[in-house]
């Protein structure tokens, strides 16, 4: 149809944006990760973020989010569940629906999550950050993905894409604060962070 709007954000941008918003639900003070599983026919199947298992309060002092000492029995890594695992476990449909799905995640999967991804048949991982690229866990993940022909692609978005992304979202589009953003704004990243938080407050 003629006269349609052309400056729309891509599907990849939409799904990664959702993953980044979901990550904001994590109580981890150091690393917040979000994940979105999308079916072959572009349906969002499930979402997840890193956090403690159901039934364990984030405010329980016996579970310390700040404890990162791997030699401590109270370190957070022993108790937290990663975003990818939670997204898979949160799905309430037939697990076979995840076959050939795409996982959008804000951090490259660890080896444990990689095994879950492979076992469920997810065929493509689109990830944002790869800050642990040289860790043994990430090396193992890439090895398993390569062996099982599970595709993994790093998501890249220019600063212009980020500005267009916010300008294209209509939920808070009436706010003057987020109108007509440009790539050369010094405070653009700060505005993006504010916008994420405003979106979270809006949907709560």
Reported as type and span, the H/E element at residue 200 is helix 188-203
For 94-101, the CB contacts below 8 A with 24+ separation are: 95/120, 96/121, 97/39, 97/45, 98/37, 98/39, 98/45, 98/122, 99/123, 100/40, 101/37, 101/38, 101/39, 101/40, 101/45
**Beta strand residue intervals within the chain, DSSP E:** 34-38, 44-49, 102-107, 124-129, 151-154
The closest alpha carbon to 99, from 38, 48, 13, belongs to: 38
The closest alpha carbon to 116, from 85, 82, 152, belongs to: 85
Which residues are the active-site residues?
Answer: 84
- Specify the residue for token string 């080896």: 111
């Amino acid at each position: 149809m003629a006269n349609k709007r052309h400056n729309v954000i891509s599907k990849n941008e939409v799904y990664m944006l959702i993953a980044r918003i979901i990550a904001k639900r994590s109580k981890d003070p150091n690393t917040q990760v979000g994940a979105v599983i999308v079916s072959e026919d572009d349906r969002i199947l499930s979402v997840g973020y890193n956090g403690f298992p159901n039934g364990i309060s984030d405010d329980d002092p016996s579970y310390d989010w700040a404890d990162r000492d791997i030699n401590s029995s109270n370190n957070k890594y022993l108790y937290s569940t990663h975003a990818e695992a939670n997204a898979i476990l949160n799905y309430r449909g037939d697990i076979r629906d995840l076959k050939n799905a795409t996982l959008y995640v804000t951090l490259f999967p660890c080896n444990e999550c990689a095994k879950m991804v492979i076992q469920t048949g997810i065929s493509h991982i689109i990830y944002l950050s790869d800050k642990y690229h040289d860790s043994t866990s990430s090396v193992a993940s890439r090895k398993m993905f390569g062996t099982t022909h599970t595709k993994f692609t790093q998501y890249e978005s220019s600063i212009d894409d980020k500005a267009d992304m916010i300008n294209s979202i209509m939920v808070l589009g009436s706010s003057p604060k987020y109108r007509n953003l440009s790539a050369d704004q010094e405070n653009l990243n700060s505005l993006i962070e504010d916008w994420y938080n405003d979106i979270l407050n809006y949907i709560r």
